[in-house]
Amino acid sequence: MSDLTDFEAIVAVQPHLVMTPLQAMFAEAEEELQAERPEGFEIHEIVERALFHLPESEREAARRELNTVYWEARIADEEALTHSDELQVQRRELRRLLGKFEDLSGSSQPVPYALLADIARLSLPLMGSAS
């Protein structure tokens, strides 16, 4: 027989089941609200219910966790917006180069290799594969 308790054995096999007390309270609050109001509810109601039912001894840790998650999400949003702005610039440049390609290929002028290389350079990252 192992020295592990039943809980530890389950956690060892299913590490994704490990939750902080706050995560567990959020999950419970969400389940309760879904059962009470299947037509829907506001996200803040999950937070309010979870924090209300969280034992006082765990509230400070929960507040720290919420602050950390908030700031991580905010940073991720800013990075995503920056990336999106960069992609918009690349898309505009690609459209400009494709217009130039279309003009040249419709005329008797040769299409420069450098133009094709620039189109490829901009196309690959926008398609999600830079390799």
What does the pLDDT average to over 95-107?
91
Q: How far is CA 121 from the centre of its chain?
A: 26
Write out pLDDT tens, residues 57-90.
888 888 888 889 889 999 998 888 888 888 889 9
Q: Which amino acid, 37?
A: R
Q: What are phi and psi of 109, to 5 degrees?
A: -80, 145
Given a cut of 70, whether residue 3 has pLDDT beyond it is no
pTM: 0.49
Domain boundaries, the chain: 1-54, 59-131
Residue percentage of the chain with pLDDT more than 90: 29
pLDDT of residue 127: 80
Among 8-17, 27-36, 92-101, which stretch is predicted with the lowest mean pLDDT? Answer: 8-17
Residues 6+ apart with CB under 8 A from 118: 97
